[in-house]
């Protein structure tokens, strides 16, 4: 199968598609920093670094007419996120970009579509946007299935719920994929072999701290002896001091109030702020992990970009471009490849 990745970001879903043996021929991404990372890692894919509203299907002229086509991707999801209570409604301009997705599907007429987004799409405006997407695919002649999947059930060491809408131009309904692991992978399974870093360290490429001991770590490393993106935000001393009071699984509530003096009302802090990861469980959601001040399980610092990437199931050969802030944003926005891979494998199995 050949594919087009819309709203590709840095390419998490494309990594998952490649894992499933799908040839990603084209991608569309407006953000120049995410586009730079995509191009760095997907050299055989033609990337259109353009506003999707100006893209037409005539630009996908290199597709093989004899091969089945699939269009996948997800419009910006911040407007649908349950953590966004300011403009999670019809007035958010980005919430309407799904129409561009539908337009290109209508023009290109792929055999399959995979529309990915946050679970909050189910609830925003009482399901208005979900119904609009489903109705849009139906009007184009697609039979759809939709379901919410937890990435931890598919080998990703992170609890992350994502909504998938799968459409078939040939009247096929896709069953909800069954979990691929009986036991969830943990934070320690994922990052224990990675370089040992301190607050503010930024060696980028460096050797691993120890041999990979878990199946997961071995799969992420392959035969590499070094890995990149080992960069950690430099937090101020008073922030690091706060970290020292937080046990695994704890959050800002474990920090003495005398150390939280810069907060007007500390009781209004979000429960996810200053969350120290538990080493023996999957990670909490890797979103904006710098803003949320996610804390390393056994060191008093934030997560490195590579550690966050491991928790997203991004292989170690994958490199993130740009400043540390842009790298962190790209990691947080990714769709875990191991989760995406399962969707694509289920589609391929039906086609076979």
H or E element that contains 226: strand 226-230
Distance, in Å, from the CA atom of 291 to the CA atom of 314, rounded to the nearest integer, reads 21
The residue assigned the tokens 């120890």 is 210
For the chain, give the mean pLDDT.
92
Q: What is the mean pLDDT of residues 186-214?
A: 97
Looking at residue 77, its pLDDT comes to 57
- How crowded is residue 46: how many other Cβ atoms within 10 Å of its Cβ? 16
Q: Does residue 19 register a pLDDT over 80?
A: yes
> Which H helix or E strand runs over 204?
strand 204-207
Is residue 227 part of the annotated active site? The answer reads no
Q: For the chain, what is the largest distance between any 2 Cα atoms, rounded to a whole number of angstroms?
A: 68
Ordered domains of the chain (ranges, CATH): 2-181+334-351 (3.40.50.150), 187-333 (3.90.120.10)
Q: Is the pTM of this model over 0.85?
A: yes
CB 217 within 8 A of CB 199: no
- Return the pLDDT at 268: 67
Count of CA atoms in the C-beta half-sphere (13 A) of 249: 5
Residue 127: pLDDT over 70? yes
Q: Is the pLDDT confidence value at 93 over 80?
A: no
- The region that residue 115 occupies, defined by phi over 0 for left and psi between -120 and 50 for alpha, beta otherwise, is beta
Q: Which residues pair with 206 in a beta bridge?
A: 227
Report pLDDT digits (tens) over 78-87.
554 444 445 4
Q: Which of 102, 188, 186, 176 is nearest to 141 (CA)?
A: 102
What residues are paired with 112 via a beta bridge? 70, 168
For tokens 């962190």, the residue is: 328
Given 36, 48, 77, 311, which residue is catalytic?
Answer: 77
Three-state DSSP class for residue 156: coil
Q: Which two tokens stand for residue 281?
A: 């469980």
Looking at residue 61, what is its pLDDT? Answer: 93
DSSP state, residue 278: P
Among 14-18, 94-98, 256-260, name the one with the lowest average pLDDT.
Answer: 94-98
Residue 121's pLDDT band (cuts 50, 70, 90): confident
Confidence at residue 135, expressed as pLDDT on a 0 to 100 scale: 95
DSSP letter assigned to residue 302: B
CB 200, CB 234: distance < 8 Å? yes
Backbone angles phi, psi at 2, to 5 degrees: -120, 155
Does 287 have pLDDT greater than 90? no
CA atoms in the 13 A half-sphere facing the CB of 338 = 25
- In the prediction, which pLDDT does 352 show? 74
Hey, which residues does 106 pair with through a beta bridge? Answer: none
């Amino acid at each position: 199968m050949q594919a087009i990745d819309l709203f590709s970001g840095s390419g998490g879903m494309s990594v998952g598609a490649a894992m499933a043996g799908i040839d990603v021929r084209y991608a569309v991404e407006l953000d120049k920093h995410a586009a730079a990372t995509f191009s760095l890692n997907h050299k055989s894919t033609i990337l259109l670094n353009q506003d999707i509203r100006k893209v037409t299907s005539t630009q996908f002229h290199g597709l093989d007419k004899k091969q089945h086509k699939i269009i996948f991707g997800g419009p910006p999801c911040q407007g649908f996120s349950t953590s966004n209570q300011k403009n999670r409604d019809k007035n958010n301009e980005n919430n309407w970009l799904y129409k561009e997705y539908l337009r290109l599907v209508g023009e290109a007429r792929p055999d399959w579509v995979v529309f990915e987004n946050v679970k909050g799409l189910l609830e925003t405006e009482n399901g208005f946007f979900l119904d609009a997407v489903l109705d849009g695919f139906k009007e184009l002649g697609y039979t759809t299935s939709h379901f919410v999947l937890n990435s931890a059930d598919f080998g990703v060491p992170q609890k992350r719920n994502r909504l998938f809408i799968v459409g078939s131009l040939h009247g096929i309904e896709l069953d909800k994929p069954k979990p691929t692991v009986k036991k969830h992978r943990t934070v320690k399974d994922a990052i224990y072999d990675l370089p040992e870093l301190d607050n503010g360290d930024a060696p980028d490429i460096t050797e691993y701290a120890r041999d990979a001991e878990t199946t997961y770590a071995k799969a992420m490393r392959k035969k590499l002896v070094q890995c990149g993106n080992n960069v950690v935000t430099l937090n101020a001393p008073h922030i690091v001091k706060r970290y020292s009071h937080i046990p695994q699984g704890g959050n800002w509530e474990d920090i003495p109030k005398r150390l939280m003096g810069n907060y007007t009302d500390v009781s209004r802090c979000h429960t996810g702020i200053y969350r120290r990861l538990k080493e023996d469980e999957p990670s909490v959601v890797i979103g904006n992990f710098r803003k949320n001040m996610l804390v390393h399980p056994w060191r008093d610092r934030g997560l490195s970009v590579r550690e966050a990437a491991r928790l997203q199931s991004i292989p170690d050969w994958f490199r993130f471009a740009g400043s540390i802030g842009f790298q962190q944003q790209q990691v947080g926005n990714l769709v875990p490849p191991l989760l995406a891979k399962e969707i694509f494998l289920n589609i391929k199995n039906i086609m076979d």
